[in-house]
Amino acid sequence: MTLIADATALFAGAGLTQAGLAVHTLKRFNRQQRPQLEARPPVSILKPLKGDEPLLEAALASFCTQSYPEFQLVFGVQDRRDPAIAVVERLRTLFPHLDIAMVIDETPHGGNGKIANLINMWPAAKHDVIVLADSDVHATPHFLERAVAALHSPGVGAVTALYAGFASGSSLAGRFGAAQINHIFLPGVLVGRMLGRQDCLGAALALQRSTLTRIGGLPALLPHLADDAALGRLVRRLGLRVALIPSLVVTTVSEETLPALFGHELRWARTIRALEPLTYATSLLQYPVFWALVTILFTHHYLWAAGFAVVVWAVRAMEARAMARQLERGAFSGWLLPLRELFSIAVLLASYLGNRVVWRGSSMAARTKERGPGPWLQRRLGKKVGLGKKFSLDKTGEPSRSINQL
């Protein structure tokens, strides 16, 4: 029993260490010197849409107010009745000087619905610098400037943005969801970067059109649920780096109920587990308050263990407050930290009970290996996006809706 208590106490210490390192790394990130641009090539921003989400107009408008001299916005939906169309029309009225394209194409293509939407939008993209950004992402006015500058650094094939979470409402679920991003997910990404990982985050990323063509174009991402991870790995296979954009973006957390949030985080968890099973298992160390509470259950020195748990709780709350200051976000209540960690543990355990995930109404299987799209899809998509024979395929020749370990 004492050995177990010692181990859980060490796990709690490891969690505090990771959170502290994340705060230190984020401070360095915020203070780094911004790269300067000598030339500012025009940019095409592609934002696939589906439905009128909370704060959607504010998120899209943030890309309309970029300080960059020349850029194009391409929005796309796959349903003529999609309410997001009206949001884009309002933006056209508010920003008549901008080059805004609205693509309405119901062609499904199969596989990843977001990538299918992007494939439909691709012919409307005019420029050689491509930015892919989710519909719920809010950007600062200098985002494009910094993204393009980072992309033109030597040896860089793609750039990706760190992101913070912002609850669209005042519900407990929204606050929990933002805390998951700001105080659990983001610290893991920051420490991973410090250790040499080059994860590509799908909230907002940029790359050259020529680089996208070399990795097989958007059709190469179609079979992948985790299309951002697939893109990053394909870029690294070219011998190029995935760098960070020296600018954070913010993503809207729209869930208003705990069951809705649980489903969202379960999809996220099963996706990561399928892609990085060992790394995902070690994410258990991210919950120091949970491990400190477990320590109480496995020791005869209850007063010592209770005092230890209180100290861990207090230190973790201070780290969360420090992280919030660096993110310029409102601090998450320290009193809710134990509940947030227990919620995360429940999601983690549930992630091992199956591999089905539901994303925007579509059910898919999160698997480590999958079959690729067949020759009929290669010909169809190759003609549509102008890639021809550069799109390589697996031998099986069938479309899939699972995650591929590249």
pLDDT digits (tens, 9 = 90+) for 248-280: 999 999 999 999 999 999 998 998 898 889 989
Residue 370 pLDDT:
43
pLDDT digits (tens, 9 = 90+) for 300-357: 888 899 999 999 999 999 999 999 999 987 778 888 999 999 999 999 999 999 887 7
Q: Domain coordinates of the chain in residue numbers?
A: 2-26+264-362, 33-256+370-390
- The rounded distance, in Å, linking the Cα atoms of 99 and 189 is 34
Residue 304 has which token pair?
A: 């010592």
Q: Using an 8 Å Cβ cutoff, are 235 and 200 in contact?
A: yes
pLDDT at 383 over 90: no
**To the nearest whole number, what is the mean pLDDT of the chain?**
87
Return the closest-CA partner of residue 45 out of 111, 143, 113, 112.
143
Segments in 122-166 forming alpha helices (H): 143-151
Q: Which overall architecture, per CATH, does domain 33-256+370-390 show?
A: Alpha-Beta Complex (3.90)
211 C-beta neighbours (distance < 10 Å), count: 20
Residue 368 pLDDT:
57
Is residue 153 classed exposed, middle or buried when 0-12, 13-18 and 19+ CB atoms within 10 A define those classes?
A: exposed
Quick one: average pLDDT of 193-203?
A: 92
Instruction: Between 115 and 367, name the one with better pLDDT.
Output: 115
